[in-house]
Amino acid sequence: MLKDKVAIITGAARGIGLATAIEFARAGATVVLAGRDLPSLEDACNTVRGIVPDALLDPVVCDVAVAESVRDCFQFVMRKHKRLHVLVNNAGILEDALIGMATPKQIERTFAVNTFGPLYCSQYASRLMARSGGGSIINIASIMGVNGSAGLSVYSGSKAAVIGITKSLAKELAPNAVRVNAISPGFIETDMAAAITPEKYKERMDSIKMGHAGKPLDVANAALFLASDLSRYITGQVLGVDGGMVV
């Protein structure tokens, strides 16, 4: 499904990013796993190869909040592969805080990673994809960015911005055959979800109509669809993967 394609996945060392790397490798892509910690990325590559022994993988250190780090990551891809077909902007952070308690540092860091990161990555990816004959940019947003949530105004705002970015880039890049879509996960079993309080966990679970949390694989499968030619006429869309969650 992705044979001979080159894909970059940010935040690829664990959770949704790692699950997506596995599915992309299974589909035949050359996968660049980007993240801030090289040992964790190397562990992730070993995990992928344990499932897909012949996987073509490159671990690359990249802090998406730092423009120069993003530049270096994409320059590596250009030097080694000379092309790019898929970008998954997955790296993200969540720090709960009531608006009266949110610090400037929390606000700046959240937007730097969750919003500026996808912008920086999309700048470079769109240029490489245009040279490669087109491609697919997939932004991992959140159901909180669509519907909001009390106590998550900073996080929700950063993810709502991602949705606006997605819709704008879809219009801008369509003439270059670059599709841009977003996935809006609900409550997914990741380290981020595990960090919340038991009370908040129960509240989240009670809000899911299907009665259970999602798996990283559920989001990875949606990303695989949006990366492949199965979605070749789809752009500017926000795909909810939330099990009927209501927030």
pLDDT tens digits for range 170-228 = 999 999 999 999 999 999 998 777 767 788 778 888 889 998 999 999 999 999 999 99
CB crowding 55-71: b at 16 or more within 10 Å, else e:
bebbbbebbbbbbebbe
Domain boundaries, the chain: 6-184+216-237
CA 95, 225, 58, 71 torsion-angle sign: negative
Active site residues: 155
Which CATH superfamily, name and number, covers 6-184+216-237? Answer: NAD(P)-binding Rossmann-like Domain (3.40.50.720)
The rounded distance, in Å, linking the Cα atoms of 246 and 149 is: 10
- Which residues, in sequence order, are CB contacts of 114 under 8 Å at separation 6+? 92, 93, 155, 158, 159, 161, 162
Rg over alpha carbons for the chain, rounded to the nearest Å, is: 17
Edge to edge, the sheet with strand 86-89 lists 56-61, 30-35, 6-10, 86-89, 135-140, 178-185, 238-241
CA 139 – CA 10 distance, rounded (Å): 10
Amino acid letter, residue 44: A
Distance CA 148, CA 157 (A): 8
Q: Which tokens belong to 66?
A: 């730092």
- Residue 216 is predicted with a pLDDT of 97
Mind listing the pLDDT tens digit for each residue in 85-112? 999 999 999 987 889 999 999 999 999 9
Q: What is the pLDDT of residues 45-84, one digit of tens each?
A: 999 999 999 999 999 999 999 999 999 999 999 999 999 9
Helix (H) or strand (E) holding 179: strand 178-185
Q: Give the model's pLDDT for residue 246.
A: 80
Where residue 23 falls among pLDDT bands split at 50, 70, 90? very high
Q: How buried is residue 45: exposed, middle or buried, by Cβ count under 10 Å (0-12/13-18/19+)?
A: buried
Can you read off the two tokens belonging to residue 89?
């902007």
Q: What is the DSSP letter of 151?
A: T
In angstroms, rounded to a whole number, what is the distance separating the alpha carbons of residues 183 and 58?
24
